Structure 1
Amino acid sequence: MALALPRPHRDDIRIAVGGLLGGVLLWALGLHPRAPSAPVVLCAANWAPLVPLAVTAACEPLRRTRPRFALLVGTLALTADTVTVGNIATVVLYTDLMYAAVLYGTPASARRIPWITGLLTVLGGVVPAALWRDPAALLIGVGIGVVALAPAATGWVVRDHRDAAEAARLRAEQTALLAEIDRTQAVTAERARMARELHDMVANHLSAIAIHSTAALSIDDPRTSRDALTVIRENSVAGLAEMRRLIGILRDSSGDLEPTATPTLDGLSALVEGARTNGLAVRLDADHGPMPEPVGLAAYRIVQESLTNALKHAAPGAVRVRLRQAEDTLHVQVTSPYLPGDAPRAPGSGSGLAGMRERVALLGGDFTAGPVAGLWSVRATLPLTGTEGDAL
């Protein structure tokens, strides 16, 4: 199956037609670059310049698709033109083929052709002058330089600028692509951060509301219902306050609002007291000093989420929260009674453990969660130095 050649460019066809018509016009007017050695009469010899002209013009449509082949055939046609009275249009078309061979040819051709034409220019001037001992012979080299070296050098300069512009365009596209990737990653990271923050803030309150509303509906006792409704109201108000704060931060496009209520380890006592109000028997054992804000926030959220899970899943018994600071590390452990197979007392999304693991990973720490000796244990080791992540 024969391969179809690429279609020539419209401009190349126009150049070929224009050059051919111009050469025919010059021939018809008798304008030749070289005078005939004998009187010119209307005979077959007068048609000789038209053959190289036609061949060179036929090469023009190939100047982009087959530049080396076009230059080779054009060179043979120009050589044949030198043994006739010649045609200026043939020379002009040949210079365009030389230019196109450098501009559209392979990188190897673009490098070699200017060197070859330069060498031919020097040899074309020096050798005849040395052999004939006539300085006028140097004009041969000048002619070769004008016909071959000048268009080749011009093609090299244009190609170099074109390649530089293409490289700049590719770099700009790559920069834009990297910027878009960074933007997408930043948006994804921000969405994950807000999802963790929203889950940790609201899940505790909603879990308590679900559990106590179930108790109020299942136990026909006015006092129990009143106590449950009190806890439900407290958790509803606290949850709404947290939601309003978070929504206010999200809606503030200017960035003036800051999460001023960002919790720290100083609020653990209040967090534990709230868990006790919700029905958990919690013991807090904390021994730590001042620490970076991201570490404190991560530790607070881990304890908060662990208490929320204990409220939803834990069996009856004491929940213990331990915090120990050892040199440049903060150890957090929350243990709660655990009975495999028990259904949770409130529905969950299953994203709590993933959120805790993400917070610890952002700080470069270690996180484990699972049953240990009949207890559900959550352990986190948070480095106090070199915390480059955003614990939010």
Structure 2
Amino acid sequence: MSRWRWHGRTADAGLALAVGLVAVVGLVVQTGGIRTGAGWTALAVVLVASGALYLRRRYPVPVGLVALAGVTAYGVLLQQPGLVMLVFVVALYTVVDEGHLAVAIGLGLASVVSFAVADGYDRETSNGATFLHAGWLVAVIVGVTRNRRAYLAEARARALAAEQRVEEEARRRATEERLRIAREVHDVLGHHLSLINVQASAALHRPDPDRSEQALTAIKQASKETLRELRTTLGVLRQDGAAPTVPAPGIADLGDLVAAAEAAGLRVRTELGEAGKLSAEVDLAAYRIVQEALTNVARHAAASSAVVRVRSGPAAGDVLVEIEDDGTRTPGEPGTGILGMAERARALGGSLETGPRPDGGFRVSARLPSGEPA
């Protein structure tokens, strides 16, 4: 910011010096050399008026008045106009450019009168330069006004476009957040409620006291876990812009998922390879994908066993999460659960593949970036 400020001051000083030099040369040529008191006074007027241009951006209207006074005094002293008019043109340009159009018109009319008076002292040398001067000033005022209006219109258009981009980004973020919340609530409730449903069905269709007790115990545990995760999710959502303070589940918590699935009658084998260090987002996504896949196996696959594998992927920094079952039912169209798993993987820059296995059963395979530097 300081560099630009000094750059602007240097430019203003250079402009004032250049215009002042031209006006002084014009004065010397007009007078054939400064030899009279009027000539020396006119020189002082030129120096003061051109020096005022250094402050034209900070005080545009006062500088315009000084320039007008200088032009008038110059004409009275030498009884003819001169190149000191360049000082006034620059000052008038600045007044218009800063948005003081009414003041600029008034200054322009006053300068035309002053120029006409100075040009009319000697009828023999008067050549109608007043009209040329008036046309010059009209061109300055109209041209700068049009440029300023175009600049302001462009600035407004840019501001509007920037505001629209901000609103679109806010809508996009809000949509992503709604999808994230929907996935979390679906995964938290869907998994445990599905297990509760399976256990309740088993207890109803097999009225054995021991099995009923086991089913009720599993239902109690699943409902307890449901409430805990639901409170955790809602607690995170209530934190207004703050970082989550409640630890999210991850690969280290797969034992709880396996225990819950086995309580529902599904044998689960886990194969955990070296997957490297995972970021919190990837760790949670891997956990939710396993959770949703086991839920689908328990509800839809009519399977007796499943395998969960977590290992490093073929590409450096990737982790593979695979769930396979020995179910006998043919899967239908992808439901909300599979779509949610795919969204989780894509949101992290990964991918999800699902489909039947050649030797029977169903397979879910997710490739996720570790989220940590290799």
TM-score by length of 2: 0.61
Counterparts in 2 of 1:298-377, with a 5 A limit?
A: 298-326=285-313, 327-341=316-330, 350-373=335-358, 374-377=360-363
Q: CA deviation at 1:337?
A: 2.0
Match of 1:241 among 228, 236, 239: 228
Change in 2 beyond 3 A, CA 1:136/1:275: farther
Deviations 1:336-361 (A, max 9, x none): 12334589xxxx99211111111211
Residue 88 of structure 1 corresponds to none
Partner residue of 1:142 out of 104, 126, 130:
130
2:364 is equivalent to residue 378 of structure 1: yes
Q: Using a 3 Å threshold, how does the CA distance of structure 1 residues 385 and 285 change in structure 2: closer, same or farther?
A: same
Cα distance between partner residues in 1 of 2:125 and 2:306: 106
TM-superposed deviation, 1:177: 0.6
CA contact (8 A) 2:325 2:361 kept: yes
Q: Which residue of 1 aligns with 2:266?
A: 280
Quote the sequence identity (%): 35
Deviation of 1:184 (Å): 0.4
- In the alignment, the residues of structure 2 paired with residue 290 and residue 386 of structure 1 have an alpha-carbon distance, to the nearest angstrom, of 7
Q: Provide the residue aligned with 1:253 in structure 2.
A: 240
CA distance in 1, matches of 2:372, 2:123: 79
Identify the residue that residue 46 of structure 2 maps to in structure 1. none
2:169 corresponds to: 182
Matching of residues 1-392 of structure 1 within 5 Å: 139-146=127-134, 148-253=135-240, 255=242, 258-288=244-274, 289-326=276-313, 327-341=316-330, 350-373=335-358, 374-384=360-370
Q: How far apart, CA to CA, are the structure 2 residues paired with 1:384 and 1:135?
A: 92
Are 1:338 and 1:371, in contact at CA under 8 Å, matched by a contact in 2? no
* 1:186/1:276 CA distance change after superposition, 3 Å: same
Question: What is the distance in 2 between the residues matched to 1:230 and 1:376?
Answer: 29
> How far apart in 1 are the matches of 2:204 and 2:331?
21
Aligned-partner SS, 1:324: strand
Residues 321 and 136 of structure 1, relative CA distance in 2, 3 Å threshold: farther
CA contact (8 A) 2:310 2:322 kept: yes
**One-letter identity of the residue aligned with 2:233:** L
Code of the residue aligned with 1:282 in structure 2: it is V
Distance 1:270 1:172 in 2: 53
Q: Which residue pairs with 1:71 in the alignment?
A: none
What's the CA shift for 1:362?
2.0
Judged with a 3 Å threshold, the aligned counterparts in structure 2 of structure 1 residues 136 and 306 are, in CA distance, closer, same or farther, namely farther
Flag the 1:139–1:324 CA change in 2: closer, same or farther, 3 A: same
Instruction: Determine the C-alpha separation between the residues in 2 that align with 1:232 and 1:364.
Output: 36
Contact residue 245 and residue 259 of structure 1 kept, 8 A? no
After TM superposition, give the deviation of residue 156 of structure 1 in Å: 1.2
Query: How far apart are residue 135 of structure 1 and its match?
Result: 9.1
- Look up the match of 1:56: none
Look up the SS of the partner of 2:355 in the other structure.
strand
Write the distance in 1 (CA, Å) between the matches of 2:323 and 2:294: 8
Q: Which whole-Å CA distance do the structure 2 matches of 1:265 and 1:136 have between them?
A: 102
Question: 2-side partners of 1:367 and 1:209: how far apart?
Answer: 27
Structure 1: which 4+ aligned runs deviate by more than 6 Å?
Answer: none
CA deviation vs aligned residue, 1:176-214 (integer Å, no higher than 9, x gap): 111100100011111111111122222110101112222
Question: The residue matched to 2:354 in structure 1 has which SS?
Answer: strand
Structure 1 residues 363 and 349, CA gap change in structure 2 (3 angstroms): closer
| Cα distance, 1:366–1:246 mapped onto 2, change above 3 Å | closer
**C-alpha displacement of 1:268:** 1.4
Please tell me the root mean square deviation across aligned C-alpha atoms, in Å.
2.5
Once the two structures are TM-superposed, the CA of residue 260 in structure 1 deviates from its matched residue by: 2.2
Alpha-carbon distance in structure 1 between the residues aligned to 2:334 and 2:245: 25
Amino acid at match of 1:265: I
Q: Specify whether residues 286 and 145 from structure 1 end up closer, same or farther in structure 2 by C-alpha distance, changes over 3 A only.
A: same
Shift of 1:228: 1.8
- Structure 1 gaps, min length 5: 1-133, 388-392
Instruction: For residues 39-98 of structure 1, give each alpha carbon's deviation from its aligned partner in whole angstroms, at most 9, with x where no partner exists.
Output: xxxxxxxxxxxxxxxxxxxxxxxxxxxxxxxxxxxxxxxxxxxxxxxxxxxxxxxxxxxx
Distance 1:182 1:306, change over 3 A: same
Q: Write out per-residue CA displacement over residues 83-118 of structure 1, whole angstroms, 9 at most, x where no aligned residue.
A: xxxxxxxxxxxxxxxxxxxxxxxxxxxxxxxxxxxx
Q: Equivalent residue of 1:261, what SS?
A: coil
Residues 136 and 197 of structure 1: is their aligned pair in 2 closer, same or farther, counting only changes over 3 Å?
A: farther
The gaps in structure 2 that reach 5 residues or longer are 1-121
Native 8 Å contact 1:320 1:335 kept in 2: yes
Q: How many residues align?
A: 248
Q: What is the Cα deviation at residue 311 of structure 1? A: 0.9
AA partner of residue 325 (structure 2): S
Q: CA deviation at 1:293?
A: 2.4
